[in-house]
């Protein structure tokens, strides 16, 4: 078995465990030792992937945002034009937000929630928002250009 594949699986197990525990117990109430125990990895393996609880939380926030952005983009690919994409966005957001309210998992932006507890990660998260905002501005420009042609 490839060592990098094994390391990747261990990292994913740690992230999945942290995701579950952060949702159930909250960030502050979840300890590193509990994450290590429940993910079934050695302490050295945990620290090889995440030097601190803050680095784990940042990776968690980033993975959740990537997952949700990927799902949104896949959903919007079905719609050809800007107006249809707007309808597609609403169709995506209704079940997305409903599922979070029904399960008690909707806490607003994960990035904002996590940044309340991690001052050192705040600068990195602001950078992520700036990159995201720039990417969204580019998409808006594309939609506007498409509208003028149509």
Do 36 and 4 share a structural domain?
Answer: yes
Q: Mark which of 10, 34, 51 sits at the end of a domain.
A: 51
Residue 42 belongs to domain spanning = 1-51
Q: What is the pLDDT of residue 63?
A: 84
Mean pLDDT, residues 52-78 taken together: 85
Q: What is the pLDDT of residue 120?
A: 46
d(CA 18, CA 106): 17
Do 137 and 83 share a structural domain?
Answer: yes
* Model confidence band, residue 143 (pLDDT cutoffs 50, 70, 90): low
CATH number of domain containing 16? 1.10.10.60
What is the rounded end-to-end Cα distance, in angstroms, of the chain? 54
High-pLDDT (> 90) share of the chain, %: 22
The answer, yes or no, to whether residue 8 has pLDDT greater than 90, is no
The answer, yes or no, to whether residue 1 has pLDDT greater than 60, is no
The answer, yes or no, to whether residue 127 has pLDDT greater than 80, is no
Mean pLDDT over the full length of the chain: 76
pLDDT in tens, 74-122: 888 888 888 888 888 888 888 877 766 655 554 544 544 554 455 545 5
């Amino acid at each position: 078995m490839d060592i990098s594949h094994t390391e990747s699986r261990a990292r994913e197990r740690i992230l999945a465990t942290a995701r579950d525990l952060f949702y159930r117990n909250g960030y502050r109430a979840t300890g590193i030792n509990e994450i290590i125990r429940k993910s079934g990895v050695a302490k050295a393996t945990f620290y090889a992937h995440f030097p601190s609880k803050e680095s784990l939380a940042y990776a968690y926030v980033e993975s959740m945002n990537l997952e949700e952005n990927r799902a949104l983009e896949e959903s919007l690919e079905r719609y050809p034009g800007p107006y249809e994409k707007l309808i597609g966005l609403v169709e995506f957001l209704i079940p997305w937000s409903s599922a979070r309210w029904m399960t008690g998992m909707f806490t607003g932006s994960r990035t904002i929630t996590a940044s309340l507890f991690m001052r050192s990660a705040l600068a990195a998260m602001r950078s992520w928002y700036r990159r995201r905002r720039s990417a969204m501005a580019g998409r808006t420009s594309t939609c506007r250009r498409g509208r003028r042609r149509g």
